[in-house]
Amino acid sequence: MVFAGALAAGAAKIQLFGTHLPPGLSAYLALSASGTLGYLVGSCVGWWIGQQGGRPLLTKHGGWFHLTPPRLEHAEWWFAKWGVLGILVGRVVPLVRSFISIPAGVFEMPLLPYVWLTLIGSAVWAFGLAGVGWALGSSYARFDHGFKYAEYGVVFLVLVAGAIPLVARWRAAASQRRQDGPND
């Protein structure tokens, strides 16, 4: 969305659904609205997955996201306590916004309020990030070049964090095989 804002400020020519958009406010609004709708569609898919899979989905696959049974109970308590406010705030909090959809479906948040709250929170997110890009304008290329190193660091940390549970499982399995001894 930051790049979309820079485009809207005039950093490059914009084609949206085959229509040329001149730089300016109309391009900013169109790109931000497109981002908002994209976020909404993806979030509704996540809600649907959670709603269809229910608690068994999180019980079976929650370990991938370090969602242990006590954490699952805490998440259910959190949704019961915060409900609609939790969805709205969660939509504008980095990282949380990516993982709130499936639990919202699992814990049976009604679709219509979920859609409205997701639309509002996603609009704040999309228009805000596009606004940052708009403010950067033609200096976006310099910002992007410098920010790439931070992106590389984040990717590295995500890969390491993803590898840790895999290595731990591999070590536990190897230790168990050593304890069981050779199979005769």
Q: Say if residues 61 and 90 touch (Cβ distance below 8 Å).
A: no
- Of 42, 44, 5, which is closest to residue 126 (Cα–Cα)? 5
> Can you list the alpha helix ranges (DSSP code H) found in 7-100?
25-61, 69-90, 96-99
Q: How many CB atoms lie within 10 A of CB 92?
A: 15
pLDDT digits (tens, 9 = 90+) for 40-76: 999 999 889 888 887 787 777 777 766 677 877 887 8
Q: Which two tokens stand for residue 82?
A: 């915060």
Mean of pLDDT values over 98-117: 85
Mean of pLDDT values over 93-98: 74
Q: Which two tokens stand for residue 75?
A: 């998440």
pLDDT of residue 142: 65
pTM passes above 0.75: no
pLDDT of residue 11: 64
Domain boundaries of the chain, sorted by first residue: 2-140
What is the spatial distance between Cα 148 and Cα 136, in angstroms, rounded to a whole number? Answer: 16
Q: Which two tokens stand for residue 122?
A: 């996603």
